[in-house]
Amino acid sequence: MDLKLKIWRQANQNSKGELKDYAIKNVSADSSFLEMMDQLNEELIDKGDDPVVFDHDCREGICGMCSLHINGEPHGPENATTTCQLHMRKFKDGDTIFIEPWRARAFPVIKDLSVDRGAFDRIIEAGGYVNVNTSGNTLDANAIPVPKADADEAFNAATCIGCGACVAACPNASAMLFVSAKVSQLALLPQGKVEAKDRVLHMVNQMDLEGFGNCSNVGACAEECPKEISLENIARMNREYLGASLTSTK
């Protein structure tokens, strides 16, 4: 198929970016979206132009590195799919495709379509862990049974890949879905309950410091999430946060 592309080009964080037009021919319907981008870049290199910078790594939908805003939607039109798993058969010959970076104050553009998501790492550093040392001298793994329903629910929250689509989708650029997924996972498991109060307070505090917006129950985050992380996590985080704020002694 032949396509027209409008791609965001920006030399660095401080320069002004703009959409540039590209045309690409003979794209296989079996190509992934990023393979189409590879093809474009090969053509640009052959012509002596600068290829388009975009983040990607595993191309299996799990590392969370790919991050394109395609035709106004994070990760493009297909539900529950990362950009790397989106295939060109979802587009039609002659289509025009808009390709932009995640847009949020907390995710500054580094170059072209690549953004800095270091804020997510810092939120995890603020408390997204269990304070257990790495010695392995802990309880036997089966010492505390965990109800299957809780384990499954924790797992579902834990499948978040940290790509940032939730932030990109949100009109407030809120990171509540990301933060709540980690808060939920650990709050649901006995191992994480011990420090649940401190965790939610610290993580939410860091989230605010990073400049993410607040949640106004739009729901676009869960709608666009490639891993279908549920809005229930935000509700759970709000409960945890409220409880912690009212009872915390610190």
Partner 1 sequence: MILDSKIPEGPLEKKWQNHKANIRLVNPANKRNIDVIVVGTGLAGSSAAASLAEMGYNVKAFCFQDSPRRAHSIAAQGGINAAKNYQNDGDSVYRLFYDTIKGGDYRSREANVYRLAEVSANIIDQAVAQGVPFARDYGGNLDNRSFGGVQVSRTFYAKGQTGQQLLLGAYSALSRQISKGKVKMYNRHEMLEIVMVDGKARGIIARNLVTGEIQRHGAHAVVLASGGYGNVFFLSTNAMGSNGSAAWKAHRKGAHFANPCFTQIHPTCIPVSGEHQSKLTLMSESLRNDGRIWVPKDIKDAEAIRAGKLKPTDLPEEKRDYYLERRYPSFGNLVPRDVASRAAKERCDEGYGVNATGEAVYLDFAAAIERYGKTEANIKGIENPSAEEIRKLGKAVVEAKYGNLFAMYEKIVDDNPYETPMMIYPAVHYTMGGIWVDYNLMTSVPGLFALGEANFSDHGANRLGASALMQGLADGYFVIPYTIGDYLADEIRTGAIDTNHEAFAQAEAEVKGTIDKLMNTAGEHSVDYYHKKLGHIMWNKCGMARNAESLKEAISEIQALRAEFWQKVRVPGGAMEMNPELDKAMRVADFMELGELMCMDALTREESCGGHFREEFQTEEGEALRRDDDFAFVSAWKYNGEPKDAELVKEDLIFDNVELKTRSYK
Residues within window 194-213 making contact with partner 1, judged by CB under 8 A = none
226 binds partner 1 (CB under 8 A): no
Name the nearest CA neighbour of 231 among 155, 158, 177.
177
Cβ at position 142, least distance to partner 1 in Å? 5
Query: Which residues fall within 8 angstroms of residue 55, CB to CB, at 6 or more apart?
Result: 65, 66, 67, 113, 114, 115
Q: Which of residues 30-89 bind partner 1 (CB under 8 A)?
A: 30-32, 34-35, 38-39, 42, 44-46, 48-51, 53, 55-65, 78, 80-81, 85-87, 89
Distances (CA, A) of 235 to 6, 123, 157, 176, 223: 38, 19, 13, 10, 16
Cβ at position 244, least distance to partner 1 in Å? 18
| Rg of the chain over all Cα atoms, to the nearest angstrom | 20
Sign, Cα dihedral of 193, 170, 37, 33: positive
1 binds partner 1 (CB under 8 A): no
Distances (CA, A) of 37 to 22, 83, 125: 11, 11, 33
Cβ at position 197, least distance to partner 1 in Å? 16
Q: Which of residues 170-199 bind partner 1 (CB under 8 A)?
A: 185-186, 189, 191-192
21 binds partner 1 (CB under 8 A): no
14 binds partner 1 (CB under 8 A): no
Token readout for 8 is 């965001």
Cβ at position 246, least distance to partner 1 in Å? 25
For partner 1, the closer CB: 76 or 213: 76
